Amino acid sequence: MASPLPTDIPAQLSSSTPTAVLGESSLSQGTTLNPFSQTQSRRADELARKDRTLVDFMLMLDDYEPLIPNEVTDYYLQRVGFECDDIRLKRLLSLAAQKFVSDIASDAYQHARIRTNAQPASRGRQPPSDRATSGASAPLKDRTKTILTMDDLGAALTEYGITARKPDFFL
pLDDT (tens digit, 9 = 90+) per residue, 57-110?
Answer: 888 888 888 899 999 999 999 999 999 998 888 999 999 999 999 999 999 999
Angle CA 136–142–145, to nearest 5: 140
Residue 4: DSSP 8-state: S
CA distance 13 to 18: 9
Q: Are 84 and 77 in contact (CB under 8 A)?
A: yes
Looking at residues 101-124, what average pLDDT do you find? 84
Residue 3 has pLDDT above 50, yes or no: no
**What number of CA atoms fall less than 13 Å from residue 72's CA on the CB side?**
10
CA distance 53 to 75: 29
| CA-to-CA separations, 21 to 6, 34, 67, 154, in angstroms, rounded | 27, 12, 47, 57
pLDDT score, position 26: 42
Question: Worst-scoring range by mean pLDDT, 22-26, 75-79, 83-87, 153-157?
Answer: 22-26
Q: What is the pTM of this model?
A: 0.57
**What number of CA atoms fall less than 13 Å from residue 136's CA on the CB side?**
0
